[in-house]
Amino acid sequence: MKLYNSLTKNVEEFVTNEPGKVSMYTCGPTVYHFAHIGNLRSYICEDVLEKILRFSGYDVKRVMNITDVGHLASDADTGEDKMLKGAKREHKSVMEIAAFYTEAFFKDCASLNIKTPDVVEPATNCIPEFINMIEGLLEKGYAYKAGENVYFDTSKLKNYYVFGNQNEDELMVGVRDDVTEDVNKRNKNDFVLWFTKSKFEDQALKWESPWGVGYPGWHIECSCISMKHLGEKIDLHCGGVDNMFPHHTNEIAQSESYLGHKWCNYWFHVHHLNDETGKMSKSKGEFLTVSLLEKKGYDPLAYRMFVLQSHYRKPLTFSWETLEQTAATYKKLRNRIAAIENDGSVDENALKEWHEKFAQAVGNDCNTAMGLTLLYDVIKSELSGATKRSIIEDYDTVLSLDLLKPVEEEAVDDELKSFVEMKIAERAEAKKAKDFAKADAIRAELAGRGIVIKDTREGVVWSRE
Ligand code: AMP
Ligand code: ZN
């Protein structure tokens, strides 16, 4: 298995801490609104990564947080509290908003065949763990109290910018939404571990802490939730590319300062889904959701296929035209598979050989497009129908495109319609050539498939028996 590691900027051989086992952490959604299909691009790619690892024989434990507190409008602790914003918008409590959008998120994931991680932990479940880690950071001198908040001191680290050579200006892109400077910070990129002096008078969720009643910052939750369930060393951490700075940079800073050793070996970042105007984001007002795709008549799995056709490390541009094309391709693919008879016996050797080929293809830095190409190779091959179906079933444990599920009536109808129309045209040709035996044979062939044809003054009409 090879994987691009954002830490080293290289495609590397994936070597785990414990042979055969993978500890994997994913930054989960901030549940103040529906997920847009850009967010879901990240979750589809992370789902596929987990499934590739399992396909390659690894035993994976995957953990995801649910951000229900502490995430401000700008990732750098400024701006409005996202959860409060959601609560105000809908005249509900923060916890009601969190419950509603958590459920909506998993419903979207289900329609995209995204597996629920082994552990899902809301941040509000882990306040004692956050307090414990912040105390540790204060004791070790990596944190300081100012203006009644607790901050992480980034100047204590030799290399705070672990992800690279970006200059500070570029790195500050995600931080500019709100220009209010926090005067308590000793250094521009110091970040809040615990707020007690909230600028929100009506801060809904608050807890007792050694520093007064308050609430945690956003970054601390991922470090703590990861450590709680996966221990002090993890193999793999995932998120969208915008999480690299400041969120993941801060997670690494606080986790490694607290632990005193390296924390996570591989960092997997999914590039953005853009629309014609740029990065898809919720702050733009109208945004694309799974239910909007469904309302427009698209199977959400056509969107999954759209994502799998491209590489996760390339930005992807969404348009209705390209989705339309992919939806047609997806439908055709399902129909072609439905037409494969389950005949002959399963060739176990071929099954192994094609499993290996697929593992190689997708195991090369998640090359899902290559995986799809192999799927078409299987369909076109000379293998028996039963073998083909077994291989497709195997591949679908990664692709999760419901490839063997019976095609819906409508899809069958399309195929049937063009078949019957072709036969009617052939029969007309035969009649014209006075080849009545052939014309009768065509009528009989259609009858064998449950189709009755009638010659009327308006032409030939057909119906099911
Ligand atoms: P949020 O719910 O805003 O915390 O974001 C959830 C996940 O979606 C994070 O991993 C983000 O990095 C990712 N994300 C946000 N916008 C996009 C986008 N346009 N394309 C792909 N992933 C995104
Ligand atoms: Zn996170």
Q: Which domains does the chain have, with CATH numbers?
A: 2-270 (3.40.50.620), 284-399 (no CATH), 414-464 (no CATH)
Q: Strands (DSSP E) along 342-431, which ranges?
A: none
The DSSP secondary structure of 120-148, one letter per residue, reads EEEGGG-HHHHHHHHHHHHHTTSEEEETT
- Between CA 47 and CA 346 the distance in angstroms is 29
In single-letter form, the type of residue at position 13 comes to: E
Which atom in ligand 1 lies closest to the alpha carbon of residue 274?
19
**What are the pLDDT digits (tens) for 346-355?**
999 999 999 9
Q: Pocket of ligand 1, candidates 25, 33, 37, 39: which has the most ligand atoms within 8 Å of its Cβ, to mutate?
A: 39
273 CA to centre of ligand 1 in angstroms: 9
* Residue 40 CB contacts under 8 Å (≥ 6 apart), including other chains: 108, 109, 112, 114, 290, 303
Q: What is the pLDDT of residue 115?
A: 98
Lookup: tokens for 433? 């050539």
Minimal CA–CA distance to 268: which of 366, 337, 361?
366
195 CA to centre of ligand 2 in angstroms: 18
Please name which ligand lies nearest the alpha carbon of 30.
1
Atom 8 (ligand 1): residue with closest C-alpha? 39
| Helix orientation angle between 368-380 and 348-362, rounded to the nearest 10 degrees | 150
The owner of tokens 């071929």 is 350
**What are the pLDDT digits (tens) for 369-397?**
999 999 999 999 999 999 999 999 999 99
Lookup: tokens for 308? 């799998």
Q: Can you give the pTM of this predicted structure?
A: 0.86
Residues 238, 49 contacting (CB under 8 angstroms): yes
Report helix, strand or coil for 464.
strand
- Residue 462 has phi, psi (to 5 degrees) of -135, 155
Report CA dihedral (299, 285, 240, 83) to the nearest 10 degrees. -110
Q: What is the pLDDT of residue 455?
A: 86
Please name which ligand lies nearest the alpha carbon of 274.
1
Q: Pocket of ligand 1, candidates 67, 242, 270: which has the most ligand atoms within 8 Å of its Cβ, to mutate?
A: 242
Minimal CA–CA distance to 329: which of 354, 308, 355?
308
Residues 77, 178 contacting (CB under 8 angstroms): no
- Between CA 426 and CA 421 the distance in angstroms is 9
Atom 2 (ligand 1): residue with closest C-alpha? 29
First to last CA, the chain: 54
Lookup: tokens for 287? 């945004």
Atom 15 (ligand 1): residue with closest C-alpha? 39
Please name which ligand lies nearest the alpha carbon of 244.
1
* Residue 310 CB contacts under 8 Å (≥ 6 apart), including other chains: 316, 369
Atom 14 (ligand 1): residue with closest C-alpha? 39
Per DSSP, the chain holds a count of helices (H) and strands (E) of 15, 18
27 CA to centre of ligand 2 in angstroms: 4
Question: How confident is the prediction along the chain (465 residues), in pLDDT tens digits per residue?
Answer: 999 999 999 999 999 999 999 999 999 999 999 999 999 999 999 999 999 999 999 999 999 999 988 777 666 666 678 888 888 899 998 899 999 999 999 999 999 999 999 999 999 999 999 999 999 999 999 999 998 899 999 999 999 999 985 555 555 544 544 446 788 899 988 999 998 876 556 677 889 999 998 899 999 999 999 999 999 999 999 999 999 999 999 999 999 999 999 999 999 999 999 987 777 877 666 789 999 999 888 999 999 999 999 999 999 999 999 999 999 999 999 999 999 999 999 999 999 999 999 999 999 999 999 999 999 999 999 999 999 999 999 999 999 999 999 887 655 567 778 888 899 999 999 999 999 999 999 998 888 777 888 888 778 888 776
464 CA to centre of ligand 1 in angstroms: 49
397 CA to centre of ligand 2 in angstroms: 27
Q: Pocket of ligand 1, candidates 30, 42, 105: which has the most ligand atoms within 8 Å of its Cβ, to mutate?
A: 42
In single-letter form, the type of residue at position 44 comes to: I
Which residue ranges have their beta carbon within 6 Å of ligand 1?
A: 27, 29-30, 38-39, 41-42, 239-240, 242-243, 270, 272-273, 279-281
